Amino acid sequence: MQESVLSSRRSPPDPEEVEENGDESKTRKNTTPFATRVSKHASAALSGQCAAVLIFLLILLATAASFLISRPVVCVSPYDSLARTALFGATLDGLASDFGSLGVPWCRSKQGKVVEWTRKDLLKGLEEFVPIYETRPIKNNMYGMGFDHSFGLWFMARWLKPDLMIESGAFKGHSTWVLRQAMPETRIISLSPRHPEKYLKKGPAYVDGNCTYFAGKDFVDFGSVDWASVMKKHGISDLSRVLVFFDDHQNELKRLKQALKAGFLHLIFEDNYDTGTGDHYSLRQICDQDYIRGGGHSCFRDSDEARIRMKRKKFWEKAVDRDELCGGDEEWWGVRGYMRDDFNHSNKAISYDEHFQNSRFVESALDVYWELPPVAGPSLTHQTRYDPARASDPIIEDGRFGLFQRLGLARLGTSVFNGYTQMVYVQISASS
């Protein structure tokens, strides 16, 4: 952790400080106008001692009331959205600078190539996507993609305009539906241990009419598919025209190698978990290295990083403090030194050296690495899970409520903003 990174960004709001400020501003806001109004009214109607006593009592009452009103800020859980709103209300400008304050690890690409799209394109995309998202068949996609990633997948599929889309891990079919909205006429291949039609019996799910399902009894793992023959069957000769989407909770190093071997170039990983979190080894974990800004970690208990992490843990469910980050022998890479795979059904301890070699391998294959930014700042979305300190600047910054509202985002339920896990688009090619 570089000291300059930490000090150039403002440190996260101190809960005690915020509570104090919150109380003060509430007291000012609530009592002063009320008391003034009451006292004017009262002095017109009454006179002498009686009025003075009444005013005194009313002011006392108003102060007590405002004290009671502001009390919840102190009492409720920090994850509570009301309390959060109160906190953010008091420290809005401190919040905007929160993004990336603990660093945002990224993977280096071979030539430093970047994506074609800009923030402006993303904003334009959002405007189009919100009304589409509102027609989604699966409204409550618990354990599935929320709004941020649905938007990211839709935006990239539409931008890249592939001739074929492959998804590994379909669950109830929400991502299949998103891909279909992006490309109405393009063939989809969907690999999933359980067929989405199974979910249809119990509730909302999506089964696509122009999709080849390798699902249920026909399920084949992405790494075991004979891609040359499947591509031939689908009339695909140019693999650079194929987009592969992984939402299968498998070790991403394994998937990257399998995709390279098959010759695919464009990949999107849904769950790109941060170091210390998640159920599989992710690209972000792999590229979390000392030489990357925001990468490499200190397990020293008295470090700046440990102190900041401890504070942030109080605010964000997915923030990890020093004790969660580090294993018994100070292994901070992967998840406490483990390379998790297959929904954490498998995990393997790896040495720092192996971890380092993994990143060298990924970098040798990488042409582009792009993490989808969160759609909007937490004061707008009221999300309580991901820690902005480890995320890049949102598309819509905190404070821009007008824009948030104009795009229709204020109409969506707040739970749809809770699923952000750094979805990433990569372009790969075999190193020569």
Ligand X SMILES: *[C@@H]1O[C@H](CO)[C@@H](O)[C@H](O)[C@H]1NC(C)=O
Instruction: Catalog residues that contact ligand X under the rule CB under 6 A.
Output: 185, 209-210, 344, 347
Q: What is the smallest separation between the CB atom of 285 and ligand X, expressed in angstroms?
A: 14
Asked if 138 contacts 168 with a C-beta cutoff of 8 angstroms, the reply is no
Q: What is the smallest separation between the CB atom of 346 and ligand X, expressed in angstroms?
A: 9
The span from the CA of 287 to the CA of 292, in Å, is: 8
Asked if 205 contacts 138 with a C-beta cutoff of 8 angstroms, the reply is yes
By C-beta, is 181 or 347 nearer to ligand X?
A: 347
Any idea which residue has 């399902």 for tokens? 213
- Please give the residue whose beta carbon sits closest to ligand X in the complex: 209
Q: How many CB atoms lie within 10 A of CB 432?
A: 4
Q: What is the smallest separation between the CB atom of 254 and ligand X, expressed in angstroms?
A: 17
Asked if 165 contacts 187 with a C-beta cutoff of 8 angstroms, the reply is yes
Helices (H), 319-411: 322-325, 352-365, 378-381, 401-406
By C-beta, is 112 or 209 nearer to ligand X?
A: 209
Instruction: Name residue 218's amino acid.
Output: D
Q: What is the smallest separation between the CB atom of 382 and ligand X, expressed in angstroms?
A: 25
Q: How many CB atoms lie within 10 A of CB 306?
A: 20
Q: What is the smallest separation between the CB atom of 279 and ligand X, expressed in angstroms?
A: 6
By C-beta, is 279 or 398 nearer to ligand X?
A: 279
By C-beta, is 36 or 344 nearer to ligand X?
A: 344
Q: What is the smallest separation between the CB atom of 78 and ligand X, expressed in angstroms?
A: 22
By C-beta, is 189 or 428 nearer to ligand X?
A: 189
By C-beta, is 265 or 339 nearer to ligand X?
A: 339
Instruction: Give me 262's structure tokens.
Output: 């098959």
The span from the CA of 299 to the CA of 305, in Å, is: 9
By C-beta, is 210 or 431 nearer to ligand X?
A: 210
Instruction: Give me 290's structure tokens.
Output: 């000392």
Q: How many CB atoms lie within 10 A of CB 200?
A: 15
Residues making up the chain, counted from first to last: 432
Q: What is the smallest separation between the CB atom of 343 and ligand X, expressed in angstroms?
A: 8
Instruction: Name residue 418's amino acid.
Output: N
